[in-house]
Structure 1
């Protein structure tokens, strides 16, 4: 089988786990180009990875042999790059978030659908075995009806992290702890428990950080299935802890903590998956994790192209967590109840 030709756009901090994954997938993927406008970044990347670099996005778009483009640039560039790729007939693998606002994200998704190209989104928590096992248990009915779900995201980022120009701003990142860090766990929670219909909460920037966007959010939520729960997210919790999703159900309780799963059923049965080495990045170094599940995202995306199916996390799926984040921020600005767009109370 011939290899799928793909190009990389964006050679900053986020590219490393993806590039490592592409090296591992060399039997099925041919990296045609690696592009960044910065000559220094291209040189630094070339020292670490065996891929041809280029200084022009146009070279990628005009090369008809390139089937797909993987975009790892800052969030505020995503819409425009994706639309150009889609119009050139290239499939798009997009780092989270889709863009800095839901309106721009919706334009991105619509452009890819109109062009008939695949759009995959890097929300790699969905590829962790513990999360997939919990999803199977919920689908099978083993846990019974869900009555509660609480999500805890207590991470640490030092001020030096936010001192990088643009980081923690609405103009570049589109948001703080929810959009830049919590989006992964919130997406996983939605995939397990379903949509949220009501939110009451708070969002703030603590004195621990100097930044424009929020670094702490606390909310009470109601799910479409009637379950209630909480969302607790921050980047001010030193030294950083594994995220948790705790589901209370009719037949027992499940706790997903990082890559670890513990399920305890009323009948005495216990299901345990020990943590693996894949989880990191909860503390001062946001890139302190292996690349296993980034590789899995890319492998699924390539398979989706070959099998002519949707990737596991589509643009439409990613829009769900974008709309939830919008509602959480809105709830933090009002004393009332907020309903995410696309759901009904």
Structure 2
């Protein structure tokens, strides 16, 4: 089977380095909020081109704490897309806020600036924030989206969980456009730990300070709680040490992912399979996603030829049971069409040329 991802192959070449830094952490006796976390926060901030990075326990916590740091609370609304696995909605609901949904562009599957502007112009209650997701590792149209949001005084939260290292045509990296940005280091991410982890990035020191307090109970000093909404959400020393080993390799991994994606986009020529356009550094190749009106048939065909595939994501937020119960969900025609047709093919840095050729041949043989 050609897998969609293979973490054993991914971390195998780093096993000795990872063992070494794990031993150093164990020997140090410092396991939470120590020097390795600080070192990773500093290195990742420099990499992303931002002033501050705050390590937290996971990507969903990053979104929630970023929203709380912006003042999002019960009774507020948060604008977002509905084709990104409901992670943004989970964070908004945890704050007591209500998700409000924006349709996406068909070409990129990311938030449509025109639809965002329509929402902000027409809504009776202006959203307290907008979460922009860089889906599949492809940068959304951040210059235009930021322009629209700021014209209405709405802060922008970048969801960069799939876009570590993506770079716009202006040279800026994912995470440096919005008022605040959120990352996940779940093991399957382009920059993944060996467990859970996340981070919040920003150029606003006051915002970073609020996130630092929120990640540790809302403390302003030890045992002194002054900020509501705090929790225990800290990137531990072991995961920070692993991430410090992996960060220098990220650009090379992303380049290999783009090579594989380009081979697919040039080699898959089946008329019933729509492939994404060849892309530059604005795309990290986190997921390589094709579209087909007969996704079920294509997926079954690939399985018979021992090529794995997955669906990211099959159900729009607006059609999830928990959201449908709330009522008032909008029609999102582009989002709903994508949820019914997208299929992710194998794409990870260690995929070899024989496997890439097998995937292309299997698609074209359908």
RCO (CA 8 Å, sep 6+): is it higher in 1 or 2? 2
Normalized against structure 1, the TM-score is what?
A: 0.32
Normalized against structure 2, the TM-score is what?
A: 0.31
Structure whose residues are more often helix by fraction: 2
Structure whose residues are more often strand by fraction: 1
